[in-house]
Amino acid sequence: MAEQTQIVIRWWHFALIGVMILMFVMFAAGLGRDTRFIPSPLIGKPAYDFKLKQLRADKEISLSDFKGTAVVLNFWASWCVACRDEHHVLLESAKKYTGKPVQFLGVNSKDTKKAAIGFMEQRGFFPYPSVVDGQGRLGLEYGVYGMPETFFINEKGIIVAKHIGALTPEIVEKNIGLTGALEQRAVSISDDASSKKEVRQ
Amino acid sequence: MRVSIKIIIAALFVMSAPIAGQAQDANPAKAETAAPKVQVESRLERQVRNIASLLRCPVCQGESVYDSHADVAVEMKTLIAEKITAGETTEQILTYFKDRYGNYILMEPPAEGLHWVIWIFPGFMALLGAMFLVQHLRSSAKAEQQRFEEQAKSKEAPGEIEELSL
């Protein structure tokens, strides 16, 4: 009788040790993860189409204006510190991909026109348009946590990648690669180039 | 003396009730006109609060959208109010945010997939602990009884046994 009790107690000991190991593994896995990279449920889904006013022109822009071209959609604001860090990366990348089927598009979110223009005057104007998302409503549609955040949309309008935080040239290159835009035939380039010109006017 | 103090306190309560009632009804005309507006607003606010309390503020640390004053949380509350006014259900509104931010946006992770572990774990641990405790108490009680029986059987003085049983 006494032996049986002994065996049962040992079994519970093993169960408790097992549970403690499981807890340790779960904590280690959870704490080791980079909290900035919360997987977006929007990856692989069609990008939300919008029609918003440009920051430096009265003309409105829709995302669908760029169908057939990969789009790098960058949410930024003048008050955002990390946006200052990635500013030169965006300027250089936009220049690098000129003439290629990649359209850069800014979304100036929760900002004022004056502050946004002042920001660009100080650091250089983006060679591509930015739309105004005054209250951050477009940010909600894209599940934006904070700024900057950048979405990489392929030529079919599907979000293939999202980057939270300041961009680096490597991140831009890698994610533009994911859109498959550079593997496209030269045929679409001429069309895209003409549509780009229209937008910039 | 004690009883009389109680009576005085009770009397004060009874006397103060009509005074409080009069104070509330001081301006009935104003109260009537203001009442419907307040009622409509509070209902929407309550609905917003119910939904916003279920959502996590994306830029805060463990704070709900309702509790947060961050820009994004304020905009989320405005959107929730708009959606309620447009006739959307709580489920539809929660799904809207879940589709864009993932399960992270929910204050309580849904009981599905791997999340089941989180929900089952505390109960499982409590059960395991309870079983362990019962087992431990049983065995120790048994050991205690055995010891007592052994002592009873021994040739010790009857007076000592009486003391032990007490």
Average pLDDT, chain B: 76
Check residue B151 and give its pLDDT: 86
A135 against B39, higher pLDDT: A135
First to last CA, chain A: 91
Closest chain A residue by Cα to residue B79: A137
Check residue B100 and give its pLDDT: 94
Does A178 map to a domain? yes
Give me B156's structure tokens: 């010790």
Give me A198's structure tokens: 């229209």
Check residue A37 and give its pLDDT: 61
Does A110 map to a domain? yes
Q: Count the alpha carbons within 13 Å of A139 in the hemisphere toward its beta carbon.
A: 30
A74 shares its domain with A18: no
Rounded distance, CA B44 to CA B65, Å?
A: 16
Residue A106 binned pLDDT confidence (cut-offs 50, 70, 90):
very high
Query: A119 CA to chain B: closest CA distance, Å?
Result: 21
A137 against B117, higher pLDDT: A137
ipTM of the complex: 0.74
B138 vs A contacts (CB less than 8 Å)? 5
Query: Region A180-195: what's the mean pLDDT?
Result: 55
Under an 8 Å CB criterion, which residues of B touch A? 58-59, 71-72, 75-76, 78-79, 98-102, 104-105, 117, 124-125, 128, 131-132, 135-136, 138-139, 142
Range from A128-142, A176-190, B27-41, B134-148 carrying the lowest mean pLDDT = B27-41
B5 against A91, higher pLDDT: A91
Q: Specify whether the CB–CB gap between A169 and A89 falls below 8 A.
A: yes
Rounded distance, CA B145 to CA B161, Å?
A: 14
A141 vs B contacts (CB less than 8 Å)? 100
Residue-wise DSSP of A37-59: -PPPTTTTSBPPP-EEEBSSSS-
Query: Region A17-30: what's the mean pLDDT?
Result: 84
Residue A82 binned pLDDT confidence (cut-offs 50, 70, 90):
very high
Task: Inform me whether the C-beta atom of residue A41 falls under 8 Å from chain B C-beta atoms.
Answer: yes
Left (φ > 0), alpha (ψ -120 to 50) or beta: where does A46 sit?
A: beta
- pLDDT, one tens digit per residue, over B66-82 is 999 998 999 999 999 99
Query: Region A66-71: what's the mean pLDDT?
Result: 92
What CA–CA distances, in Å, run from B72 to A109, B57, B89?
11, 8, 21
Note down the domain range covering B82: 38-108
A111 shares its domain with A171: yes
Helices B90-101 and B28-52 pack at an angle, to 10 degrees, of 40
Closest chain B residue by Cα to residue A135: B75
Residue B39 binned pLDDT confidence (cut-offs 50, 70, 90):
low
Check residue B1 and give its pLDDT: 47
What CA–CA distances, in Å, run from B10 to A8, B2, B17, B20?
61, 13, 11, 15
Does A38 map to a domain? no
Question: DSSP H helical segments within chain A, as ranges?
Answer: 2-31, 81-96, 113-123, 137-141, 169-179, 187-200
Does B25 map to a domain? no
Range from A45-49, A69-73, B30-34, B147-151 carrying the lowest mean pLDDT = B30-34
- Among candidate residues A99, A77, A124, A100, the one with its CA nearest the CA of residue A176: A100
- The tally of domains found in chain A comes to 2
Give me A102's structure tokens: 């990649």
Query: A21 CA to chain B: closest CA distance, Å?
Result: 13
Rounded distance, CA B50 to CA B56, Å?
A: 13
The CATH number of residue B78's host domain is 1.10.8.640
Check residue B162 and give its pLDDT: 53
Which of B90, B108, B126 delimits the end of a domain? B108
Residue A18 binned pLDDT confidence (cut-offs 50, 70, 90):
confident
A88 shares its domain with A171: yes
B99 shares its domain with B45: yes
User: Strand, helix or coil at A189?
Assistant: helix
Q: Specify whether the CB–CB gap between A87 and A124 falls below 8 A.
A: yes
DSSP-derived pairing of the beta strands A130-133 and A159-164: unpaired
Highest-pLDDT range among A147-151, B113-117, B138-142 = A147-151
Best A5, A13, A79, A149 member to test B by mutation, with max B CBs in 10 Å, is A5
A181 shares its domain with A101: yes
Residue partners of A47: CB distance under 8 A and separation at least 6: A63, A71, A73, A142, A151, A153, A157, A158, A159
CB count in 10 Å sphere of residue A144: 26
DSSP-derived pairing of the beta strands A102-109 and A70-76: parallel
Q: For chain B, give the percent of residues with pLDDT over 70.
A: 68
CB pairs under 8 A between A and B: 61
- Is B78 in Cβ contact with A12 (below 8 Å)? no
Residue partners of B59: CB distance under 8 A and separation at least 6: A145, A146, B68, B70, B72, B73
Residue from the list B71, B98, B124 with its beta carbon closest to the beta carbon of A136: B71
Give me A5's structure tokens: 């009790």
Rounded distance, CA A66 to CA A1, Å?
A: 79
Does A40 map to a domain? no
pLDDT score of A195 more than 50:
no
Q: For chain A, give the percent of residues with pLDDT over 90.
A: 63
Range from A7-11, A104-108, B92-96, B148-152 carrying the lowest mean pLDDT = A7-11
B100 vs A contacts (CB less than 8 Å)? 41-42, 140-143
Residue partners of B153: CB distance under 8 A and separation at least 6: none
pLDDT score of A143 more than 50:
yes
Which of B108, B137, B153 delimits the end of a domain? B108
Q: For chain A, give the percent of residues with pLDDT over 70.
A: 83
Check residue B117 and give its pLDDT: 77
B163 against B154, higher pLDDT: B154
pLDDT score of A72 more than 70:
yes
Give me A43's structure tokens: 């990856």
Note down the domain range covering A74: 51-200
